A and B are shown apart, each in its own frame.
Chain A
Amino acid sequence: MKHIELEQQGAVGRSPPRKDGADKVTGRARYLDDLNFPGQLWGRTVRSHVAHGRIREIVWDAAFDWTDVVRVTAADIPGENVVHLIEDDQPMLAADVVRHREEPIALLACADREKLEEALAHVRVEIEELEPVLDPLRSTVVFKSYRIEQAPQGLAQAFADARVIEGTYRVGHQEQMYIEPQAVAAIPREDGGITIYGSMQCPFYVHRALQRLLRLDDSQVAVIQVVTGGGFGGKEDYPSVISGHAALLARKARRPVKMIYKREEDVAATTKRHPAVMKYRTAVEADGTLVALEAEIVMDGGAYVTLSPVVASRGVLHAGGAYRWRHARIDCRVVQTHTPPNGAFRGFGVPQTMFAIESHMERVAVALGIDPLELRRKNALQIGDELPTGQKLTSSVSAREVLDVVAARSDYARKRKEYGRSVGEKRRGIGISLAFHGAGFTGTGEVKLKPRAGVELTDRGARVLSVSTDIGQGTITVFSQMAADALGLALDDVEVAENDTSKMPDSGPTVASRTTMVVGGTITRAAAAMARILQGYVAQVHDVPAAEVSCAGGIFSARGRALAPFAAIAKRYLQERGSLRIIENYRHPPEIRFDDATYRGDAYPCYGWAATAVEVEVDLDTYEISLLDVSTATDVGRAIHPVLAEGQVEGGTVQALGYALLEEHVWDQRGRLLNTRMQNYVIPTALDVPRMHTTLLENPYPSGPYGAKGLGELPMDGPAPAVVGAVLHATGKLIPEIPLSPDRVMRAVLS
């Protein structure tokens, strides 16, 4: 393990300017809103005003002039009325029953945006209201359940022999709040097909959803991702819905249709993080050794299945935290409620369960009178330990290291002692948490998906081929760095192809902290294969042994003698042979095996590790929590681009601090979301962000490109429980529910 070294050869490990940076800061980057299409119409959605009910009739005001308004209902769907994902339970447009507020029922399009708004006001949907189920604990519709067991025969005895500590932990919805709302344009084609331009994470999700919705073959659909203003998971599955809607309107109108949600509409209608209620029961020895864990986790899936089975799966697989347990039984179910479907959000189930286990560790520390850092260090996973699935950890484990780095960086020991004595209306505290996050798809996901990606030769260098999207995290730059080094090219000579499903190999969705590790690794292998072909070609042209040819800095050489610039070789190769395009399949490490039926085995090929220390000041007049200082230590395997990696850590940490302190959706008793604006759904501003100390550690993953492992989601997992620990330290109260709003802090302090 070592810290980042800046002096090294090649692009990997350096922090060159982002390839998309200049266009974004100068305003040249064209987002969907900047694109206009000849003859385009604007689309709008007629939505349910009740959470649960039976549609009686769609009433179009006869007094309104509908002549230049295109209207679409479920009856206009040429294919199947489903949003294609895991299950087929979600209709593209509700036809008989509505199952959540704001569910789409009909669509309108018009060239004049003002008239479109008026038209929307002249549609009324008569719905016979049914009783909504809004409390997941009362729901009887289980979308999916899981059980993970480790040596369960010893559970009862373990609980009989050791100290039993119990607690229940709750988290609510969280909004992704990407800067750019959901936005797509659909262009009808002469062959009956459709082309979509849109803001999205997963172009092939949209591609397949449109095929089923419109009954089209593969070649009749093209989905092109345009510059995307953030996703955080919120543009994993929802773009299939809005793209389907725009496509239905465009097909009926025979004109391009653009749909861009308003902020309020986006917040009210689209996916959010799953709320969860998590009951933990642990058996612990007096010296702090964790022995046995029983957990029962209930997640609120919302109205339709969407991604809930995989969110719950990842949540339950991380539910034991980064600790060693001799015995475990972890149950999880994700259930239906009549609220908009909950979906992907950075962390994908883990921020919920990590909040529970890490808050529970605080409870254990209090019960045993042990320092919470010591308790974590003592039980932290190490090489050779097993996870509750029986997965034996063999490499790249940094649980203790990240704790030690953060403890030193935050001056934890001194502050723990000093702050414990604070009096008066301002109380300070410091808390620490440990988190881990599996990189790549869960279980056999990558094997089943068979992702493909590659490179092609250009007349000056190479072009990266994939559908992995840059949603702000830096994919374009990082892929270019990895390909540049594998080919011996300067970074400027590598470009990334437009993200188009009709032209690119399916490298899979941009989710699950898989892009750099899984797709980047595949691109690196393809680039290495291209390098070998070109070395052979150069050997032939210059009559030297192929084994002695190499390329560095864009110059081919052999035995220390420069032979030719890469660009010259590339031009000559393309002239002689037409093209060179290498597409590789992702190669899953063969020793990583998982049984989807029993939930035993290696759920992830490797894990990222992170510790967070948070210092707070609690104002006992207003019960507000101020963040004074946050330190993080994060093992990323290898930082391909250290500045972007730190950006991921810092941005994710801020998002997690918002989850911990500010962000809370308020619903009325009929399932209507009351805070749909940035004014009343409160996310952190720059002034809410404290001093941050970010440390990257590099404990390489042997099968990852340059040692890299997934990073994007990990920073979301640990900060919230660290805040809980800090508030406990400051006030003596363990608050097992986030956000730690002043209201909640008040109730705890006055109890």
Chain B
Amino acid sequence: MIPVTSARSLSEAYAILHQRPRGLRVLAGGTDLMVAVNARAGLDRIGHVLDIWKVPELRGISGAGGSLRIGALTTYTELMRSREIATHLPALALVSREVGAWAIQNRGTIGGNVCNASPAGDTLPLLLAAEATFLLGGPRGERTVAAHEFFVGYRKTALGADELLLRVDIPLIEKSHLVYRKVGTRKAQSISRTIVAVRKLAPRDVRIAAGCVAPIPLRCRNAEKAVAAGGDVRAALEQDITPIDDVRATAVYRSRVTGNVLLRLLG
């Protein structure tokens, strides 16, 4: 039996984090963790589960003060239904619609997507291209980490052992807009083969990020520079990405199609 603590407030959660129990795993919507538990994958490495689903401080979306602030426990369904998201960042609502089935959308959270840090996490290229920052907190205090510094290796993040992701902040920039394309394995309930997001600030000033083409969700700086310089964007993108073959697609496909999609999104 694995002990589970269900925190009702951030301070209750911090109290557990402060104790640093062995093998602590944080449970939000459970759409990644419970799949692993069901498959008994890595079960022996889980010593204690901290359930934060009912921590009220981690909910809610606000669009005040020049940035969009999204609580870590915001579900995909809430992203799809939020007026703030629809107004300021409609692409995030659209990509939420492409994540899993309705049941997953009702339970899966943006914070879970970030902390699970899968290179195929569907919201992550959008957050990277939007230059989101993540507010982390724990018994030792709070700090802010930029999205592109948060993903440090395959499913590894900058999150400390006693830290939670509290909030995702996205700077609102006038007249910029975020576009993306997910290339999945079918028309619904699919995992991406590749996913590309572009935030356009000016014709030659763009932010580019992609998923499923590297061990981490990737900000594509070489491609951004090539756009700025009017250079060969496809060749520059090749410098950014390191795709692999897996059950969903080949590296050759990922490379080619990520380039095609990026060029199409850039217009």
A674 vs B248: C-alpha distance when bound (angstroms) = 11
Check B173 for interface membership: any CB of A closer than 8 A: no
Q: Are A688 and B260 in contact (CB under 8 A)?
A: no
Q: How many residues of A contact B (CB 8 A)?
A: 24
- Which residues of B have CB within 8 Å of A662? 185-186
Closest to A746 in B: B253
Known: A622-B257, A682-B190. A117 touches B185 (CB 8 A): no
Closest to B254 in A: A743
Q: Are A742 and B247 in contact (CB under 8 A)?
A: no
Q: Are B186 and A684 in contact (CB under 8 A)?
A: yes
3 nearest A-B pairs in the assembled complex, by CB-CB distance: A687-B187, A621-B260, A687-B188
Beta-carbon contacts of A657-679 to B below 8 Å, as 1s and 0s? Answer: 00000100010000000110001
Q: How far is the CB of A666 from chain B (nearest CB, A)?
A: 5
Beta-carbon contacts of A104-120 to B below 8 Å, as 1s and 0s? Answer: 00000000000001000
Known: A622-B260, A746-B256. A688 touches B247 (CB 8 A): no
Q: How far is the CB of B135 from chain A (nearest CB, A)?
A: 31
Q: Which of B39, B257, B264 has the most CB of A within 10 A?
A: B257
A117 vs B43: C-alpha distance when bound (angstroms) = 12
Check B239 for interface membership: any CB of A closer than 8 A: no
Check A325 for interface membership: any CB of B closer than 8 A: no
Check B40 for interface membership: any CB of A closer than 8 A: yes
- Which residues of B have CB within 8 Å of A687? 186-188
- Which residues of A have CB within 8 Å of B183? 622, 624, 742
- Which residues of B have CB within 8 Å of A129? none
- Beyond A117-B40, A622-B261, 11 extra complex contacts between A and B, CB < 8 Å: A264-B39, A425-B264, A620-B260, A621-B260, A622-B260, A674-B247, A680-B248, A682-B186, A685-B189, A686-B188, A743-B249
Closest to A684 in B: B186
- Which residues of A have CB within 8 Å of B188? 685-688
- Which residues of A have CB within 8 Å of B249? 742-743
* Option from A674, A680, A688, A742 in Cβ contact (under 8 Å) with B257: A742
Check B193 for interface membership: any CB of A closer than 8 A: yes
Q: Are B264 and A688 in contact (CB under 8 A)?
A: no
Beta-carbon contacts of A620-640 to B below 8 Å, as 1s and 0s? Answer: 111110000000000000000
Q: How far is the CB of B37 from chain A (nearest CB, A)?
A: 12
- Which residues of B have CB within 8 Å of A675? 247
Q: Could you give 7 example pairs across A and B, Cβ below 8 Å?
A: A264-B39, A622-B260, A685-B188, A743-B249, A743-B253, A746-B252, A750-B256
Q: How many residues of B contact A (CB 8 A)?
A: 22
B169-194 contacts to A, CB under 8 A, are 183, 185-191, 193
How many A-B contacts at CB < 8 Å in the complex?
54
Beta-carbon contacts of B225-241 to A below 8 Å, as 1s and 0s? Answer: 00000000000000000
Known: A666-B247, A674-B247, A680-B247. A623 touches B253 (CB 8 A): yes
Q: Are A743 and B191 in contact (CB under 8 A)?
A: no
Q: Are A746 and B191 in contact (CB under 8 A)?
A: no
A682 vs B193: C-alpha distance when bound (angstroms) = 13
Q: Are A621 and B264 in contact (CB under 8 A)?
A: yes
A682 vs B249: C-alpha distance when bound (angstroms) = 12
A742 vs B186: C-alpha distance when bound (angstroms) = 11
Query: Looking at chain A's contact residues, is the secondary structure mostly helix, strand, loop, or mixed?
Result: loop
A686 vs B187: C-alpha distance when bound (angstroms) = 9
Check B62 for interface membership: any CB of A closer than 8 A: no
Q: Are B187 and A688 in contact (CB under 8 A)?
A: yes
* Option from A117, A264, A685 in Cβ contact (under 8 Å) with B186: A685
- Which residues of A have CB within 8 Å of B261? 621-622
Closest to A682 in B: B185
- Which residues of B have CB within 8 Å of A621? 257, 260-261, 264
Q: Are B250 and A743 in contact (CB under 8 A)?
A: yes
* Option from B186, B193, B253 in Cβ contact (under 8 Å) with A688: B186
Q: How far is the CB of B34 from chain A (nearest CB, A)?
A: 14
Listed in ascending order, the chain B residues whose CB lies under 8 Å from chain A are 39-40, 183, 185-191, 193, 247-250, 252-253, 256-257, 260-261, 264
- Which residues of B have CB within 8 Å of A622? 183, 257, 260-261
A592 vs B257: C-alpha distance when bound (angstroms) = 55
- Which residues of B have CB within 8 Å of A623? 253, 257
A264 vs B250: C-alpha distance when bound (angstroms) = 23
Q: Are A685 and B187 in contact (CB under 8 A)?
A: yes
Q: How far is the CB of B76 from chain A (nearest CB, A)?
A: 17
Q: How far is the CB of A45 from chain B (nearest CB, A)?
A: 15
Q: Are B253 and A742 in contact (CB under 8 A)?
A: yes
Closest to A686 in B: B188
Q: How far is the CB of A278 from chain B (nearest CB, A)?
A: 24
A425 vs B261: C-alpha distance when bound (angstroms) = 11
A682 vs B248: C-alpha distance when bound (angstroms) = 9
- Which residues of B have CB within 8 Å of A674? 247
Closest to A620 in B: B260
Closest to A658 in B: B186
Q: How far is the CB of B183 from chain A (nearest CB, A)?
A: 5
A108 vs B74: C-alpha distance when bound (angstroms) = 44
A35 vs B191: C-alpha distance when bound (angstroms) = 35
A75-120 contacts to B, CB under 8 A, are 117
Q: How far is the CB of A692 from chain B (nearest CB, A)?
A: 15
Q: How far is the CB of B246 from chain A (nearest CB, A)?
A: 8
- Which residues of B have CB within 8 Å of A750? 256
Closest to B38 in A: A262
Q: How far is the CB of B123 from chain A (nearest CB, A)?
A: 18
Known: A621-B260, A674-B247. A742 touches B189 (CB 8 A): no
A742 vs B248: C-alpha distance when bound (angstroms) = 10
- Which residues of A have CB within 8 Å of B253? 623, 742-743, 746
A290 vs B136: C-alpha distance when bound (angstroms) = 72
A193-216 contacts to B, CB under 8 A, are none
- Which residues of B have CB within 8 Å of A743? 249-250, 252-253
Closest to A750 in B: B256
* Option from B40, B191, B252, B257 in Cβ contact (under 8 Å) with A679: B191
Q: Which of A624, A680, A686, A743 has the most CB of B within 10 A?
A: A743
A478 vs B191: C-alpha distance when bound (angstroms) = 40
A675 vs B191: C-alpha distance when bound (angstroms) = 13
Q: How far is the CB of A444 from chain B (nearest CB, A)?
A: 43
- Which residues of B have CB within 8 Å of A624? 183
A65 vs B256: C-alpha distance when bound (angstroms) = 55
A719-751 contacts to B, CB under 8 A, are 742-743, 746, 750
A624 vs B188: C-alpha distance when bound (angstroms) = 14
- Which residues of B have CB within 8 Å of A425? 264
Q: How far is the CB of B90 from chain A (nearest CB, A)?
A: 21
- Which residues of A have CB within 8 Å of B187? 685, 687-688
- Which residues of A have CB within 8 Å of B257? 621-623, 742, 746
Closest to B262 in A: A621
- Which residues of A have CB within 8 Å of B191? 679-680
- Which residues of A have CB within 8 Å of B190? 682
- Which residues of A have CB within 8 Å of B252? 743, 746
Closest to A624 in B: B183
- Which residues of A have CB within 8 Å of B185? 662, 682
A688 vs B248: C-alpha distance when bound (angstroms) = 17
A511 vs B261: C-alpha distance when bound (angstroms) = 46
Q: Which of A425, A624, A674 has the most CB of B within 10 A?
A: A624
Closest to B39 in A: A264
Q: How far is the CB of B164 from chain A (nearest CB, A)?
A: 27
A283 vs B8: C-alpha distance when bound (angstroms) = 77
Q: How far is the CB of B181 from chain A (nearest CB, A)?
A: 8
A624 vs B257: C-alpha distance when bound (angstroms) = 10
A746 vs B183: C-alpha distance when bound (angstroms) = 14
- Which residues of A have CB within 8 Å of B247? 666, 674-675, 680
A688 vs B190: C-alpha distance when bound (angstroms) = 11
Closest to A674 in B: B247
Closest to A678 in B: B189
A746 vs B251: C-alpha distance when bound (angstroms) = 12
Q: How far is the CB of B98 from chain A (nearest CB, A)?
A: 11
A530 vs B185: C-alpha distance when bound (angstroms) = 55
Q: How far is the CB of A64 from chain B (nearest CB, A)?
A: 15
A425 vs B181: C-alpha distance when bound (angstroms) = 15
- Which residues of B have CB within 8 Å of A680? 191, 247-248
